[in-house]
Amino acid sequence: MKRSPQGERWRRLDNTAKLFPVIASENLSNVFRISATLKEEVDPGTLQRALEEILPQFEGFSVRLRRGFFWYYFEHNKRMPVIERETTYPCKYIDPHSSQLFLFRVSYFDRRINLEVFHAVTDGLGAVNFLKALVYRYLDLKRNSGTGHKASQKISSDVSMNVEDSYVRHYKKTARRKYSSRKAYHLTGEPLPLDEENILHGYVALRELKEAGKRYGVSITRFLTASLIWAIYQEYLGGKPWGESIGISIPINLRSFFGSETMANFFAVTLIDFLSSSEEHTFEEVLKTVSSQMDLKITKEKMEETISYNVSNEKKWYLRATPLFIKWCVLNLIFRKNDKAYTMTLSNIGPVQIDEEYAGEIERFYLMIGVSRRQPVKCSVCAYKDEVIVTFTSVFQDTRLQDRFFGFLKEKGIPVKLESNGVPDKRDDRGMYPQIRYDQERLKKLVNVFYGLMIFISAVLGFINYATYTGSLWSVIAIGLMAYAVLTVRYSFMRHSNLAGKILLQTAAAEFLWVAIDHSSGYSGWSVNYGIPSTILFADLAVVFLILVNRMNWQSYFMYQIAITVFSFIPLILWAAGLLTRLPLALITVIVTVFILAVTIVLGDRSVKTELKRRFHV
């Protein structure tokens, strides 16, 4: 990380990480979970201490996400995260735009320690290294072994502090390979209520799974991928021809191809697909298709093509110089177009290797990945000792795909034991997950009812105003006030964005509201002469107040100061256009706003230059 004069460290996001803050939402969390189940119940106090001791060694995790003009970037987070008892469903949204939050969370339940990570921070291997260090240190502290930081040192400090962008390091111009955008088959089903999530683990015997793969001459990943496609083909397509292919997204760890030890993201996604063209397909045929595609696509040359495609786009000067809000729109469109090519994701991080002195105290590991609207079911795989743990995350009421998949493994002579989180029923529930009660979800339902009520009342008032029109658009005032109320509820109460962002958003909304009210009441010009300048002055003073209250983190509000300064010139533009007739308040607004910004720059000294460099890096 680069260090600024005021002591804040920051760094650019790696090539893949740049996408995740853009597409992240409550419906697409981009959060995954690595868990470790111990032999004894977790002591939260000891776990908190272990986290506090190992976090400084993992610089890539001690960050918060900040918004620049051209790109997002990471800034060092001085705070210390607090562990929590697990009270939500796995892989829930971590708001990356809340400047006070870490981009990971550590929770516990019974004998299990959970690490959930926003994907912009790292990938599966980076998260495994962090969790291993955390578990090692926790077990050392439980033993009172007096070994100091022995546990965290087992994860090489060179690795834990290495957050280089390995995509850029290993980039070279090649024949660039684009992602497929051909529409794949998408799973459908009856969704669970609210934001419930269906978790089903399959504990698969490693020896028998290897033997099954050997019978077909393939690896475990190829066998499981073909089994998943076969289960979808049988259960959803009914073993019949279909116009859309079954597309499985396979994340590939690039470290093994390029020798990188970065703790940042370094993976690529490969599409393995199968098109059902008849009713005569066999599992052997599916497996042959999967195996041949993996032979062709999962090679160093193909991975270099993927890196070349991704990095070359980032290096184009006109894309680098494009403002972030435009990138946001374009990247969302590209992602949604490419995401159509995938039916679901199968992520296999392989075996988790544990030092022998700790292995006897750890029962197993799990990997889970968050679902999305387009991929409502996802599958993840990891191995520990003599087990392969296959986990399905789903938002469907049924488990038809999971039952078909695990049933097929059993048909092949592979023992499988199941465990669920008790959703949607108690089948295979072993009490290892909390019974969740969501008061917050009831609040969300009430808020949605409020939105609907406001829309209904607005429509009724508009109709009444139209039917009894006498020259006054009084309904516009009422509708504008209700729209402002909805905006306030949605972005001030229901979101975790910082206060300065809320002030800026509501300043813009208030200005539109004053103009609408002025027009609907005959337009006397008070909205532009007094309403808009006064609102800008209020916003400027509010941000100054936030800076004074939070002087140690003043740079969090600097960009909002710049935005409000730009806003302050709006009244002058209106005056030049002849729409504003009273100039004094508009001039006062500009003078006060520019003066406050100038004072901030002078007092900030070199810190301002560093902040501008971070915010406007390309």
Q: Which stretch of 242-251, 273-282, 327-336 has the lowest confidence by average pLDDT? A: 327-336
Percent residues over pLDDT 70 in the chain: 82
Higher pLDDT, 100 or 85: 85
Least confident stretch, 213-217, 304-308, 488-492, 552-556? 488-492
Find the range with the poorest average confidence among 110-114, 376-380, 506-510. Answer: 506-510
Residue, of 336 and 63, whose pLDDT is higher:
63
**Three-class SS of residue 292?**
helix
d(CA 513, CA 468): 23
pLDDT at 399: 94
pLDDT of residue 318 exceeding 70? yes
Q: How far apart are CA 528 and CA 593, in angstroms?
A: 17
Instruction: For the chain, state the CA radius of gyration.
Output: 28
SS3 state at 195: coil
Phi-psi region of 205 (alpha: psi -120 to 50; beta: other; left: phi over 0): beta
pLDDT digits (tens, 9 = 90+) for 444-468: 666 677 678 778 877 887 787 778 7
Beta-sheet strand order (sheet of 246-253): 267-274, 246-253, 344-351, 377-384, 387-394, 198-205, 416-420
> Among candidates 366, 379, 124, 360, which has minimal Cα distance to 255?
124
Asked whether 516 and 473 are in contact (CB, 8 A), the reply is no
Q: Please state, in angstroms and rounded to a whole number, the distance separating the CA atoms of residues 140 and 135.
A: 9
Q: What is the pLDDT of residue 493?
A: 47
Residue at 331: amino acid letter: L
Question: How large a percentage of the chain has pLDDT more than 90?
Answer: 46
What are all long-range contacts of 526-535, with beta carbons under 8 Å and residues at least 24 apart? 528/571, 528/574, 528/579, 528/580, 529/580, 529/581, 529/582, 529/585, 529/586, 530/582, 530/585, 532/570, 532/571, 532/574, 533/571, 533/585, 533/586, 533/588, 533/589, 534/585, 535/507, 535/510, 535/511
User: Would you place residue 435 in the very low, low, confident or very high pLDDT band (cuts 50, 70, 90)?
Assistant: confident
CB atoms within 10 A of CB 79: 10
Residues 6+ apart with CB under 8 A from 108: 42, 44, 47, 83, 84, 85, 86, 114
- The per-residue pLDDT for 248 is 96
Question: Given the DSSP bridges, would you call strands 246-253 and 344-351 parallel, antiparallel or unpaired?
Answer: parallel
Most confident segment among 307-321, 354-368, 439-453, 576-590:
354-368
Structure tokens at 386: 């003599």
- At 453 the pLDDT is 77
Tens of pLDDT, residue by residue over 91-132, are 998 888 765 679 999 999 999 999 999 999 999 999 999 999
Residue 282, sorted as left (phi over 0), alpha (psi -120 to 50) or beta, turns out to be beta
Lowest mean pLDDT among 362-371, 422-431, 453-462, 586-595: 453-462
- Top-confidence residue, 315 or 480: 315
pLDDT band at 353 (very low <50, low <70, confident <90, very high): very high
pLDDT at 436 over 90: no
Token pair 């339902």 in the structure block, residue: 445
Q: Highest mean pLDDT range out of 142-156, 166-180, 294-308, 427-441? A: 294-308
| pLDDT score for 74 | 92
Tens of pLDDT, residue by residue over 153-202, are 555 554 557 889 999 999 888 766 666 668 899 999 988 876 789 999 99
Half-sphere exposure of 135 (CA within 13 A, CB side): 33
| Predicted local confidence at residue 100, as pLDDT | 62
Question: 232, 416 in Cβ contact below 8 A?
Answer: no
Q: Which of 23-27, 173-177, 246-250 has the highest mean pLDDT?
A: 246-250
Q: How far apart are CA 22 and CA 30, in angstroms?
A: 11
pLDDT band at residue 497, thresholds of 50, 70 and 90? Answer: very low
pLDDT of residue 496: 42
Please say whether the beta carbons of 137 and 58 come within 8 A.
Answer: no
Amino acid at 365: F
Mean pLDDT across 545-555: 62
d(CA 433, CA 29): 20
d(CA 91, CA 393): 9
The C-alpha atoms of residue 564 and residue 513 are separated, in whole angstroms, by 18
Q: Which two tokens stand for residue 558?
A: 């600097």
389, β-bridge pairs: 203, 382
Q: Mean pLDDT: which of 245-254, 440-449, 467-476, 548-557 is highest?
A: 245-254
Do 555 and 570 meet the contact criterion of CB atoms below 8 Å apart?
A: no
3-class DSSP state of 374: coil
DSSP state letters, 254-290: SHHHH----SS--EEEEEEEE---SS---HHHHHHHH
The two structure tokens encoding residue 510: 């208030």
pLDDT of 480 above 90:
no
Q: Read off the pLDDT band of 212 (50, 70, 90).
A: very high
Which pTM value belongs to this model?
Answer: 0.77
Distance CA 369, CA 32 (A): 4
Only one residue has tokens 């007739």, namely: 581
Identify the sign of the CA torsion 451, 457, 460, 463: negative
**Fold of the CATH domain 2-165:** Chloramphenicol Acetyltransferase (3.30.559)
Contacts of 481 (CB under 8 A, 6+ apart): 513
- Asked if the model's pLDDT at residue 17 lies above 60, the reply is yes
Give the residue with greater pLDDT, 37 vs 435.
37
| DSSP H or E stretch at residue 138 | helix 124-143
- Which pLDDT score, from 0 to 100, does residue 5 have? 37
